[in-house]
Amino acid sequence: MKKYGLVIALVVLTTMGCLKGQDDPVFPSPDLTIPVDESVTLQKAMPFPFGAAVNVGLLKNNTTYRNLVIKEYNSLTAENAMKFTQLHPSENVYTWADADYLVDFAQQNGKRVHGHTLIWYKNPPSWVLNYQGDAQAWDNLLKNHIQTVVSHFKGKVASWDVVNEAMADNGTLRDCIWLQKLGADYIAKSFIYAHQADPDALLFYNDFGHEYSTTKRTAIINMVNNLKQQGVPIDGIGLQMHTNYMQSDKNLADAINTAVATGLKVHIAELDISMNPNNIPDLTFSAGLAEQQKAKYEFIVKTYNAIPKNQQFGITTWNVSDADTWIRGEYNRPDWPLPFNDNYERKAAYQGILDGVK
């Protein structure tokens, strides 16, 4: 059977080659993979934790995905399963099944779990948006959600993105239900409530844009430094780093090193490197693009590897393979942002990550 499969695949590939012309890349292109040395994995090669955001449905139903997660990573983030709406869809209902599945999987396979995310402007369920109550009632709502979730996973989830994306690109706090109901204090309160529920969990402020907006970066760093000065229990800063191959090395390094200057732990928390930031609808992935992506992954890993060891919380990519990326769905465009291709094979980007710690 395997032989026939191979013959069919060869015929299909040859036909595609004929139709497209020899020099045109095929999508997804198998010849853009790198040779696999089974003894090398990201978790073994990296001198700091290396993780991925995982999709619980894929973990349950796609054996290739599941095995790759077991093999390559030693830190896991739930891509969606621990968000407010997923965990707490109505006032008196908590739905733990998917998040518990992920945590059990992580425990069985010796992986760290990073919790994402307790409070996020984007994710309040409609019951929260429609909630009626005075300031004290809103404070209780915030506290109850955070403490129920953090307590549920106490001892199993090592760290949390407590507040996600509170800052707008113009450096002011983003308008959201929490800001409207509780004022700017919702951020400090969220950290305090999370710490009360699990004093051992490391607590992060997570956001994007450090590498493309100095205004936003400065506002985030100032906010985080203020929280620290006020004695708010904050341990780390998450740089999402949804970036693209055209981003300058200087901007990427500035993002990392400015965060390091806070003295907090730094998590590159949602790394992916878009190859089609200009939304070209018929772009194909080529050897040239693969090399540029490799260089960008290498640069980020190299820069991160050079920061003080005690500030290295780790690097997490936002999902595993190009087939699983949020980017294709969100922007409705072809893109190949991750180190594994659609067939879960290693791309040049994977080698770039390895080369970053050479």
- Say whether residue 80 binds ligand 9MR (CB under 6 A): yes
- Say whether residue 247 binds ligand 9MR (CB under 6 A): no
CA–CA gap between residue 317 and residue 300 (Å, rounded) = 12
Among 240, 243, 262, 321, binds ligand 9MR (CB under 6 A): 240
Name the residue number minimizing CB distance to ligand 9MR.
326
By C-alpha distance, which of 169, 265, 176 is closest to 224? 265
By C-alpha distance, which of 347, 352, 346 is closest to 68? 346
Report the nearest approach of ligand 9MR to the CB of residue 129 (Å): 15
Number of residues that bind ligand 9MR (CB under 6 A): 7
One-letter identity of residue 234: I
- Say whether residue 79 binds ligand 9MR (CB under 6 A): yes
**HSE (side-chain half, CA atoms, 13 Å) at 75:** 24
- Say whether residue 270 binds ligand 9MR (CB under 6 A): yes
CA–CA gap between residue 256 and residue 300 (Å, rounded) = 9
Report the nearest approach of ligand 9MR to the CB of residue 288 (Å): 27
Report the nearest approach of ligand 9MR to the CB of residue 318 (Å): 6
Cβ contact 296:343 at 8 Å: no
The pair phi, psi for residue 96, each rounded to 5°, is -95, -10
- Say whether residue 204 binds ligand 9MR (CB under 6 A): no
The set of residues, in sequence order, having a beta carbon less than 8 Å from that of 271 and lying 6+ positions away, is 240, 241, 242, 243, 300, 315, 316, 317, 318
User: Considering only 78-86, 175-183, 186-194, 246-254, which stretch makes contact with ligand 9MR by CB under 6 A?
Assistant: 78-86
Report the nearest approach of ligand 9MR to the CB of residue 79 (Å): 5
- Say whether residue 235 binds ligand 9MR (CB under 6 A): no
- Say whether residue 245 binds ligand 9MR (CB under 6 A): no
In SS3 terms, 212-259 reads as: CCHHHHHHHHHHHHHHHHCCCCCCEEEECCEEECCCCHHHHHHHHHHH
**Which sequence positions are flagged as catalytic?**
165, 270
Report the nearest approach of ligand 9MR to the CB of residue 287 (Å): 28
Show the site string, 81-100: x = touches ligand 9MR by CB under 6 A, - = not: --x-----------------
Report the nearest approach of ligand 9MR to the CB of residue 333 (Å): 14
Beta bridge partners of 93: 90
Cβ contact 112:49 at 8 Å: yes
User: Considering only 58-66, 79-87, 175-183, 254-262, which stretch makes contact with ligand 9MR by CB under 6 A?
Assistant: 79-87
Beta bridge partners of 243: 273
Q: What sign does the dihedral 50-55-60-65 (CA atoms) show?
A: negative
- Say whether residue 41 binds ligand 9MR (CB under 6 A): no
- Say whether residue 335 binds ligand 9MR (CB under 6 A): no
In SS3 terms, 283-321 reads as: CCCCHHHHHHHHHHHHHHHHHHHCCCHHHEEEEEECCCE
Give the nearer residue to ligand 9MR in terms of CB position, either 32 or 219. Answer: 219
- Say whether residue 326 binds ligand 9MR (CB under 6 A): yes
Give the nearer residue to ligand 9MR in terms of CB position, either 74 or 240. Answer: 240
Show the site string, 162-191: x = touches ligand 9MR by CB under 6 A, - = not: --x---------------------------
Q: Which residues bind ligand 9MR (CB under 6 A)?
A: 79-80, 83, 164, 240, 270, 326
